[in-house]
């Protein structure tokens, strides 16, 4: 009997081991190149769980993020809006605590955050890198901000064009926060929305640009493509650690991947373009033309419109591919400069990045 029990236990142990070994999961990565001196991290700084008005249990957010190739997430349930509180008591730190194990096992950096949620004006704000989210649960709004900042929070204004007659206006609270240097960033994109005015304020007031999902429902996506992906922030960090992510956010080293566009400061868009697009030396030079391969290492279908005298009028470099391009050249042995506008690399509202592709001459 004892022996049977022992074999039974052994059997269970082996069964467990086999399960662990077989528990392999496979994901697709989000491929944006690193920039010189920085690692490109895919980040989503705005998401909800059942602990506010979301509809998933916290660890699911880490599984979704891993499956989609996201490196960094912030859990930011609403402080003031607790629609499930009759079923689930208000516990502002609990979603973070419940996510730590799942995030660690998947090598996802997890940020403790909260969404400060007031009617517009002033609207909603995310506080990241909190130590105690529950400390923000109190009525006086400026006191809430003070407590967040006291904990070392990075604060950004969420979905600035959202809801109410005063929506999309830079109000007194924003001014007060800005003057105290308590406002560090702004969501220029949230889910399916792009806020052009917010993009302008980010440039004018030197606020860090972020773009996030603000996801409430389960995320059924398995893979991100140029046509269908999370709205997210690319952060250029010195390494993959939370202090490095925070440093990069405070320094404004971000781009936003929104629909089939990259949006951000030229300072970061240009190196991203340069790291993404590689023009290979011509493999064939004929009378009046050269043949070149152009690689696109990014997830964006890069759209180019000619502004100079050489090259096709329009070029689309599909994400993650190599294009074969024939370029007319009076003298195919000479270097050729192709002047273009990268129309889906936005450096300011309605303003795209200008680029030059250089085709080397014959040695």
**Looking at beta carbons only, is 102 or 115 nearer to Zn ion?**
115
For Zn ion, the closer of residues 59 and 160 by Cβ is 160
We find the least distance from the C-beta atom of residue 263 to Zn ion, in angstroms, to be 20
CB 61: neighbour CB atoms within 10 A? 29
Residue 132 neighbours by CB under 8 Å, 6+ apart? 93, 151
Tokens of 326: 């024939």
Window 144-163: contact mask with Zn ion (x via CB under 5 A): --------------x-----
Stretch that binds Zn ion, among 31-39, 115-123, 146-154, 300-308 (CB under 5 A): 115-123
Asked whether 289 and 328 are in contact (CB, 8 A), the reply is yes
- Tell me the closest approach of the beta carbon of residue 159 to Zn ion, in angstroms: 6
Can you tell me which of 124, 147, 199, 285 binds Zn ion, judged by CB under 5 A? 124
How many residues lie near Zn ion (CB under 5 A)? 4
Q: Work out whether 61 is an interface residue with Zn ion (CB under 5 A).
A: no
Q: Determine contact, residues 327/290, Cβ cutoff 8 Å.
A: yes
Which residues from 237-296 bind Zn ion, rule CB under 5 A? Answer: none
Question: With respect to Zn ion, which residue has the nearer C-beta, 74 or 135?
Answer: 74
Q: At its nearest, how many Å lie between Zn ion and the CB of residue 126?
A: 8
Residues of 98-134 as b/e, b for ≥16 C-beta within 10 angstroms? bbeebbeebebbbbbbbbbbeebebbbbbbbbbeebe
Separation of alpha carbons 59 and 163, rounded Å: 30
- In this chain, which of 214, 226, 232, 271 binds Zn ion, going by CB under 5 A? 214
- Secondary structure percentages of the chain, helix, strand, coil, to 5: 25, 30, 45
Cα–Cα distance for residue pair 203/128, rounded to 1 Å = 21
Closer residue to Zn ion in complex, CB, 64/214: 214
The span of 210-218, 251-259, 266-274, 311-319 binding Zn ion (CB under 5 A) equals 210-218
| Residue 44 vs 214, nearer CB to Zn ion | 214
Compute the distance between CA of residue 65 and CA of residue 212 in angstroms, rounded to an integer: 12
User: DSSP string spanning 106-164?
Assistant: TT-EEEE-EEEE-PTTT-EEEEES-S-GGGG-SS-HHHHHHHHHHTT-EEEE--TT-SS
> Which part of the chain contacts Zn ion (CB under 5 A), choosing from 89-97, 109-117, 133-141, 287-295?
109-117
Q: Which residues bind Zn ion (CB under 5 A)?
A: 115, 124, 158, 214
């Amino acid at each position: 009997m004892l022996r049977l029990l022992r074999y039974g236990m052994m059997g269970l142990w082996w069964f467990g081991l086999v399960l662990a070994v077989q528990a392999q999961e496979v994901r697709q990565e989000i491929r944006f190149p690193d920039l010189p001196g920085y690692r490109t991290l895919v980040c989503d700084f705005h998401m909800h769980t059942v602990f506010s008005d979301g509809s998933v249990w916290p660890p699911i957010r880490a599984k979704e993020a891993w499956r989609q190739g996201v490196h960094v997430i912030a859990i930011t349930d609403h402080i003031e809006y607790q629609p499930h509180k009759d079923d689930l008591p208000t516990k502002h730190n609990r979603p973070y605590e419940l996510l730590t194990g799942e995030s660690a096992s998947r090598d996802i950096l997890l940020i403790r955050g909260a969404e400060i949620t007031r009617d517009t004006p002033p609207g909603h704000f995310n506080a990241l890198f909190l130590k105690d989210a529950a400390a923000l649960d109190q009525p006086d709004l400026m006191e809430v901000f003070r407590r967040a900042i006291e904990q070392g929070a990075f604060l950004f204004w969420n979905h600035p064009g959202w809801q109410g007659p005063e929506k999309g206006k830079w109000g007194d609270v924003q001014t007060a926060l800005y003057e105290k240097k308590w406002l560090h960033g702004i969501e220029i994109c949230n889910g399916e929305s792009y806020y052009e005015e917010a993009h302008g304020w980010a440039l004018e007031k030197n606020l860090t640009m972020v773009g996030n999902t603000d996801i409430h429902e389960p995320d059924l996506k398995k893979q991100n493509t140029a046509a269908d992906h999370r709205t997210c922030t690319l952060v250029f960090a010195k390494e993959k650690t939370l202090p490095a992510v925070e440093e990069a956010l405070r320094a404004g080293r971000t781009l936003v991947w929104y629909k089939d566009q990259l949006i951000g400061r030229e300072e970061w868009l240009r190196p991203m373009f340069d790291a993404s697009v590689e023009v290979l030396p011509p493999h064939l030079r004929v009378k009046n033309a050269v043949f070149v391969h152009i690689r696109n290492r990014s997830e964006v279908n890069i759209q180019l419109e000619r502004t100079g005298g050489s090259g096709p009028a329009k070029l689309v470099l599909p994400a993650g591919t190599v294009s074969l391009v024939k370029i007319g050249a009076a003298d195919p042995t000479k270097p050729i400069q192709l002047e273009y506008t990268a129309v889906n690399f936005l450096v300011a509202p309605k303003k795209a990045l200008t680029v030059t592709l250089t085709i080397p001459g014959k040695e």
